[in-house]
Amino acid sequence: MFVKQLCVFIENKHGKFQELTNVFAEYGINMISLSLSDSTAYGVARLIVSDTDKAQKALAANGFASVVNDIMAIKLDNKLGELNKLIKELNEGGIDVQYAYSLTSGKEAAILLKTLDDKKAEKIIAKNHSFYTEEEIYNL
């Protein structure tokens, strides 16, 4: 079970992140979850947004390069040790995590996860966990 993730490439210069957030504000797009990382010249914002297609068009119109890909959104109880259990299951199944970021809301939590073999990871995860649909993630 996958949700759409928007990856935006941002020049690593003063004010560029605000330009990105301005686009979302101007076009009425809600950022539901965000991970921002950088390198010397560019950063990458990985986001779950309220309208991926609209966001990608708005970004292109404002000079931002972006791609959309699928990412797993796994339901976890928002309590100690739950992420550790999930990662242990993946590790025992021979799956390494490429990157991850979280989204929590009260007692509910989601781990947004990308691996090198998402199909195999999905089968391992489905044994003991469930996934959020895109609609559920947007409404957390």
| Residue range 9-34: mean pLDDT, rounded | 93
Q: How large is the angle between the packed helices 82-92 and 118-126, nearest 10 degrees?
A: 120
Which DSSP symbol is given to 97? Answer: E
Residues 21, 29: Cα–Cα separation, whole Å? 9
SS3 49: strand
> Which among 46, 45, 42, 62 has a CA at the least distance from the CA of 54?
62
pLDDT at res. 67: 96
CATH architecture type of domain 2-69 = 2-Layer Sandwich (3.30)
Q: Using only the alpha carbons of the chain, give its radius of gyration.
A: 16
For 33-92, how does the pLDDT look when each residue is reduced to its tens digit (9 = 90+)?
A: 999 987 778 889 999 999 999 999 999 999 999 999 999 999 988 888 999 999 999 999
Domain ranges within the chain, ordered by starting residue: 2-69, 71-138
Strands (E), 1-140: 2-11, 31-38, 42-49, 65-77, 97-105, 108-115
Query: 26 is written with which tokens?
Result: 């101007």
SS3 116: coil
For 101-110, how does the pLDDT look when each residue is reduced to its tens digit (9 = 90+)?
A: 988 777 778 8
For 109-127, how does the pLDDT look when each residue is reduced to its tens digit (9 = 90+)?
A: 888 999 999 999 999 999 9
For domain 71-138, the CATH superfamily is ACT domain (3.30.70.260)
SS3 20: helix
> Which among 113, 47, 48, 33 has a CA at the least distance from the CA of 76?
113
